[in-house]
Each structure stands twice: as C-alpha cells, then as structure tokens.
Amino acid sequence: MPIRQPRPGDDAPPLDLRPWHVQSCPMLDPIPLPAGIRTRFLDNGRGLMMHLLEAGEPGRPLLLLLHGFPEIAYSWRKIMLPLAAAGYHVVAPDQRGYGRTTGWTQGFDADLAEFGPLNYVRDALGLVAALGAAQVACVIGHDFGSPVAGNCALTRPDVFRAAVMMSAPYGGPPPLPFGGQPAPAPQGLASPAMNAALAALPRPRKHYQWHYSTRGADAELMTHPAGLHAFFRAYYHHKSADWAANRPHPLPGWDAAVIAEMPTYYIMDLAQGMAETVAVEMPSPAEIAANTWFTEAEVAVYAQEYARTGFQGGLQSYRCTTSGLAGREMQLFAGQPIRVPACFIGGAADWGVHQKPGDFERMQRLGLADMRGCHLVPGAGHWVMQEQPEAVTALLLDFLAALPPG
C-alpha cells in the first residue's frame, strides 16, 4: 500500500521521506568539489552511515583513500580524478569521528574501544562490502589514515592487496615478551615519564598527543583567537613546506631534550594549547594570497565541517594511543610485518616522518616485508598530497602499475 502524504488540516506533521542522514542534518551545505567527483552516503553495515567522495566507475579496481587529522575525505580532492582516469574506482570516506559520517558516539566520555585501531579496520571492511567489492587493489592512508591503512593490510591481506602509507611511517605492531623475555618498558607516547621529562626541561614542554588526549582539547581547538578558519590556515601553514623552519632530520631516540628539537606543533610549550601555538605562525596576507595549494575557499570547507562536528571524534584516537589501548590491541600481531606490496610517501619538509624516532627506519627494515618504494617529495611538508598532488599521483601510479595483475 502506498504511503499517504498528510493533507492540509491533518493533525500529524508531514512525513519526511528523505533518507535519515539527510533528515538529521538538514542544513548541510554542499561541498564544492571538482567536476567528476561524486558524493553520497552509504551504510557500512556496522552502524555507520559513511559519507563518501567517489571518482571513476564501480567495478574497476578499487582504491580506498583514508584521511588523517584534522582532515576529511575532501583532503584527497586533488588526486582522485587522475587516479580515476588511470582506470580505478576511487573512494574516499569521512572516517569514524569525522565530517559527515554519522553513527559514532560523540563526546569525551564515549567508549574508547569504538575508536580503537581494529575498529577502523572493521569500518573499512564494512565499507568495501557495502560497495559490492571483494578486494581493494590498494588502501592508501595519510597521517592518522596511514596506520589505519597499514593495519588493514596487516590484518586482512586477502582483501587489501596493497598499501601506501603517507606522512606517518608504519613501524609495525608493538612487541610481546616472547621466550621468557621481560616485557619491554613503555617508551615514547606510552610513557608518562616522557611527558614528565618534557615538563621538566628548562623550557617546559609537552607532547601534542598528550595535549590532544585531555578533556579540554576539543574546546581549546574550537577557540582559536581569530576563529576556526584562522586555525586551519595557521595549522596547515605551520606543518607545510611553506614554513621555512621545517627542516626535519632523524632523531637518535626517545629523549626529552632530543625530541624537543621538533617544532611546537609536535612538542608544545607546556602552558599553551594548540590554537594558541599555531596562532603566532599565521602566514602574512601576501603569503595567503600566493598560496595555490590551499586557497581561502578550501580552508573554508574545513572550517565549515569542523564547526559542525568539533574535533573530539578525531581526538579519541590519540587517547587510544596515550592510554595504551591501541598498543594492547595491536600486540596480537607482534612480530608480523605487512606482507602485501607497500610503499611510503612523505614530504621532504615533513617532521611527521621522524616524529616517532626510529619508526621510519623500522618500517624499512621490519615493518614492510615487500617494500616497493620510500619517497620523500621535494616541496612538500605534512600535507603531501595537497601540496604536491602531481608528484604524489605519479608515484602512486608507478606503484600501482607494478602490482601483480588481479
């Protein structure tokens, strides 16, 4: 029987027959996308209504692009069309906690297990199934999306047939004390002693991931002195090749005085929040006008999306790291490298390559059993696929072309 629309004079309000995600977000503005990139919502079968950007035809080899923090699927806009033109079905979702994807739990007090590393793998598997695909030709991740892509390839190599990690090296799962060896002492981010040592420096400091793990971090990020648009402009500039002081190099180990060499967007001044930290690095009006890789209109998209969602959904993953939850979950795979074909792409001016001392080297030695390339792109900082999209596209297509057929 057809549904009868209410008539004038009926007591009941008119039925809203639009999809539920549209009903729940009636004021969403369209995202300005290059012609040829489509947008839609798709139920991943795991409680998420995922917002996707797509290019290329379904049925072609699938490329899954996973963004980082503070990013959204929109971060892939510059490389999706050339990848699609090369014969791929390119899909970039807003991940759990981000953008227009709904179904995840808001707020600092949400169950952290929802944001654990293997749950993001489950989200990706559900999305692949919902797309009607059985395999992903390559999963590609940037920043936080890099370990998600790596974990996908590590845990389900039958589905994720190749992997590319960008900006954040994949050092592999944490070790287990096999053979009666003592359990390894907590190091790096898992060690409260490191944060205490940073705070005790002559110039007191703190690690940004510990700051991002605090209850007040979301509100602090939302209160940049000049607003969210200014925050994204300053934050992206500070971590890009445009900031001339970004001259990264390998660090010898997890020592407070050593890692304090990194810029303040990683090793913050103890008394400052991130919005305050990056505010002093705001580029000049002339620098903003000359920026072609991150225009004011593009900055506005990020500001619009995060003004609606806030940052807490993305910040939960940092809490999984600093609490030890992520390490405990991934110890299940201790000693296992990624065995599918893989490569790494970073910016030559990106401190993210070296922010976890030893990971870049460990990835090349142990983390990737079939490493096909390790590239540091000149003229790019942390936002490599946005700062140098042509170079990144060329590297990806070379890697993809050399993969085994099928």
Per-residue buried b or exposed e for 17-26, using 16+ beta carbons within 10 Å of the residue's own CB: eeeebeeeee
Q: Is residue 27 part of a domain?
A: no
Out of 254, 288, 319, pick the residue that ends a domain: 319
Buried b (16+ CB within 10 A) or exposed e, 32-56: ebeeebeeebbbbebebbbbbbbbb
Helix (DSSP H) and strand (DSSP E) numbers for the chain: 17, 10
pLDDT, position 11: 47
pLDDT at residue 15 in the model? 36
CB-count exposure of residue 300 (10 Å: 0-12, 13-18, 19+): middle
Same domain, 313 and 363: no
Residues in the chain predicted with pLDDT less than 70, given as ranges, are 1-27, 180-190, 406
Q: How many domains does the chain have?
A: 2
250 falls within a domain: yes
Contact 330, 171 (CB under 8 A): no
pLDDT of residue 186: 54
Residue 214 in tokens: 């605090």
CATH of the domain at 87: 3.40.50.1820
Q: Cα 235 vs. chain centroid, distance in angstroms?
A: 15
120 and 205, same domain (yes or no): no
- pLDDT, residue 5, reads 32
Residue 21 included in any domain: no
> Are residues 42 and 171 part of one domain?
yes
What pLDDT score does 42 carry? 98
Regarding whether 299 and 250 lie in a shared domain, the answer is yes
Whether 171 and 189 share a structural domain? no
Please tell me whether residues 55 and 170 are part of one structural domain. Answer: yes
Sign (positive or negative) of CA dihedral 399, 400, 405, 406:
positive
Paired tokens of 224: 């940049």
Do residues 201 and 283 both lie within one domain?
yes
pLDDT (0 to 100) of residue 330: 95
277, 296, 319: which is the final residue of a domain?
319
Give domain status of residue 274, yes or no.
yes
Helix (H) or strand (E) holding 142: strand 138-142
* 78 and 143 inside one domain: yes
Predicted local confidence at residue 184, as pLDDT: 60
Compute how many other C-beta atoms are within 10 angstroms of the C-beta atom of residue 376.
16
Check whether residue 42 and residue 169 sit in a common domain.
yes
CA distance 337 to 340: 9
Same domain, 191 and 162: no
Q: Is the pTM of this model over 0.85?
A: yes
DSSP 294: S
One domain for residues 228 and 129: no
251 shares its domain with 342: no
* Residue 141, domain extent: 35-176+333-401
The predicted pLDDT at position 27 comes to 60
Among residues 319, 344, 379, the one where a domain terminates is 319
